[in-house]
Amino acid sequence: MSLAPRPARTRLLALGAVAALAFSACTNGSSGSISAPAPDSGDEVVDPPEESEEAQADNGDNEADDGAGSGDLIGGRFAWRDAGCEFAAADPDLRCGFVTVPVHWDDPDAPDTIDLHVAVLESRASDPAPDPVVYLEGGPGGDALEGLAFSTHLFEPFRQRGDVVVWDQRGTSFSEPDMSCPEVDAADDVLLASTDEPAVELAQAVTALRECGQRLSDGGVDLGQFSSLTSARDAEAIRRALGVEPWNLLGISYGTRLAQTMMREFPGSIRSVILDSVLPTEDTLIDGTAASGEQAAEHLFAQCAADADCATAYPDLADRFEAVVAALDAEPVEMEVVDPLSLEATTVAATGADLGASLFQVLYSPLFFTAFPEVVRRLDSGDTSGLAVLAGQALAQADFFTPAVHYAVTCNDEVGFLDPSTQVGDQGDGFVGDLLSPEGAGNERVYLETCDLFGPAPAAPVEDEPVVSDLPTLVLTGSYDPITPPATGRRVAETLSSVTVVEMPHQGHGSVADECAASIAVAFLDDPASAPDLGCVSASDPPLWLGADLGAVQLEPFVLDSPFVTGSGLVPAGWVEQGDGTWISPGHVLSQLVLVQQGVAGANEGLLLGLLAGQFGLDGPPEPDGTVVAGPTEWNHYEIEVAGSSIELFVADFDAGVGLVVMEGPADLRDQARSSFLPELLGAFSP
């Protein structure tokens, strides 16, 4: 199985969540602060909005300062076209469209253009701030809009003050050109079942990537037109098409690299900047992965040893990890892995190198890294179930990633600054570093053997220099981050004159998903000139390393009102909302309970069960195995098996429609819920 460390991007999925009602919608709202551009007919090209004198002056200064010509290059003609959202997202306050940009920014008036898909998540505020936040996806190559249904909750704190703009960078997801790589998908299917030496698997990956790149190039795709500078110019075109000035940047992972490029090229267009999990412009994704991954792994082992409960449950974790790696290398194991989104099961084989790569991946999020000691314990006793869950999440992550864009941007940005003779070799000082080195589970060699094809346009020297800026900037880092560790954030801050650096002690890669970090970010946006209150950082709770006991759950009211699912009732306080009517209990990925409460107006139980049968791939609608009377309502109870997991359904018809309550998770947690808060929750629900 090939589970190499993922590129530097972030995506929080509703892990194990039951997407009970797979409806999608996208409507043109009107409450946000970004006014909709006037409708155009067909593909009519319209002039960009006029800039302020200050913005024009700033762009002119950029042109003079760095020689990139950004000021007049961005002045070409481009168009906004209102359109329906190409992705699934049930949100009434969502407006979508396309922005037309040149294929070649060095010739912006040439006829060759591409369309970029853009979504505006309109503000929840009654008086929205005039300056929206634009989200810059990681990767490079991350599909921002395709996974928006699973990540809209990340943007809710920012929507309380103003609009949020999310867009697919060129070549990803719903933006042109089509950069899909069926060759890579086919190779991945083969590699999942492979127990070959890492060098053999990497050679297969190189072959597939080269076949994809050659096909794209032969088909007319200019792979030289993918870079951070190109994406910065695309973003500026989007800003002007929306009529926004200025806006705030929110970059996560590679998105911080793009944000720094925008800070250098278009400072007059920017009010403030949030850099979360920072990739310095002078660094590369091609080297250094093993060393930073080893540092983060050692931090995990040390924190577990320092926590009394973790140390008792998982003694000598580092040594046991090494022993399990050796055992898997001696005798790889086969296991069934389920993609939690598609629910498709695949038989894969795992080696010690794969477990090392899995350790690297889990360090991205406390939802994962707190589960890793339990994964090691289970493997030590011959139980692969925990590793299978982590592998399933890796499969789901791959659904939101465009490899050809990743390699094109990385190669164009970085390969010209590398000495290949010094980049391949052992990068670690210990066991984990050796495991993650290019001769182990690392992927540095893949870049070096494909960049001649994917990187035909090496970047200008300025792309390898630190960005100097006086724009107000908030830098967020995570102590467990395996690929952009806190040191990189501090280093970027050295050339920023108006900066606040915050290290989140219990976070990995992408700290803004944390409630404390999000509150700091929103406070910063409210007043970028002042240092935000950091009191919640020291007060934040340490990770939960063990299986979570639901304990004494307190219920609080909720109201759900979206175009397709509604409902009101009670929900456990402190649980994390993952979308419309979906909550997850605190804990790690192996010890969580997923709770769904949704209603559908005008529907009935029969219709709902038919929809669920289709979604879960059942032979037909399930049959009830009992009833539960809660308050004035009698609920039919169902228990179904989906991809090896038991899911409990409670369904009831109401005068206004049908109600659905779902529980998915370990049997002991479901038992706790049934014996404690579930009766009160069912009695309070109404669609």
pLDDT for res 479: 97
**Residue 623: inside a domain, yes or no?**
yes
* Residue 516 shares a structural domain with residue 593: no
Of 394, 392, 327, 431, give the one whose Cα is nearest residue 3: 394
Phi (first) and psi of residue 574, to 5 degrees: 85, -5
With a pLDDT cut of 70, the percent of the chain lying above it is 85
pLDDT for res 147: 84
Is the model's pLDDT at 511 over the cut of 50? yes
* Residue 256 shares a structural domain with residue 123: yes
212 vs 190, higher pLDDT: 212
Query: What mean pLDDT do residues 410-431 have?
Result: 71
* Residue 93 shares a structural domain with residue 160: yes
Q: Provide DSSP, 220-243.
A: T--GGG-SHHHHHHHHHHHHHHHT
**Residue 368: inside a domain, yes or no?**
no
* Residue 566 shares a structural domain with residue 489: no
**Residue 589: inside a domain, yes or no?**
yes
**Residue 449: inside a domain, yes or no?**
no
Asked if residue 131 lies in contact with residue 162, where contact means CB atoms within 8 angstroms, the answer is yes
Enclosing domain of residue 571? 555-684
* Residue 506 shares a structural domain with residue 585: no
Q: pLDDT, tens digit, for every residue of 346-403?
A: 888 898 988 988 999 999 999 999 999 999 999 999 999 999 999 988 888 888 999 9
Domain boundary among 486, 510, 526: 526
Place of tokens 């070649």: 104
Q: Strand 499-504 to strand 473-478: parallel, antiparallel, or no bridges (unpaired)? A: parallel
Give the CATH number of the domain where residue 643 resides: 2.60.120
* Residue 119 shares a structural domain with residue 247: yes
pLDDT for res 530: 94
Query: What mean pLDDT do residues 450-478 have?
Result: 93
Give the CATH number of the domain where residue 122 resides: 3.40.50.1820
* Residue 516 shares a structural domain with residue 574: no
pLDDT level of residue 78 (50, 70, 90 thresholds): low
Domain boundary among 526, 545, 579: 526
Q: Provide DSSP, 50-84.
A: PPPHHHHHHHHHHHHHHSS-HHHHTTS--EEEE--
**Residue 331: inside a domain, yes or no?**
no
**Residue 537: inside a domain, yes or no?**
no
Domain boundary among 508, 526, 544: 526
Q: Picking from 100-114, 278-292, 426-440, 463-477, which range would have the lowest pLDDT averaged per residue?
A: 426-440
pLDDT for res 67: 33
Rounded CA separation 684/681 (Å): 5
* Residue 120 shares a structural domain with residue 248: yes
Work out how many domains the chain is built from and give that number.
2
* Residue 638 shares a structural domain with residue 507: no
Burial 462-499 (b: 16+ CB within 10 A, else e): bbbebbebebbbbbbbbbbbbbbbbebbeebbeebeeb
pLDDT for res 75: 52
pTM, rounded to two decimals? 0.87
**Residue 199: inside a domain, yes or no?**
no
Q: pLDDT, tens digit, for every residue of 125-179?
A: 999 999 999 999 999 999 999 988 778 888 999 999 999 999 999 999 999 999 9
* Residue 81 shares a structural domain with residue 161: yes
Of 596, 567, 558, 595, give the one whose Cα is nearest residue 657: 567
Of 501, 354, 498, 505, give the one whose Cα is nearest residue 1: 354
**Residue 209: inside a domain, yes or no?**
no
Is the model's pLDDT at 476 over the cut of 60? yes
* Residue 511 shares a structural domain with residue 585: no
Rounded CA separation 202/329 (Å): 17
* Residue 90 shares a structural domain with residue 233: yes
Rounded CA separation 18/150 (Å): 12
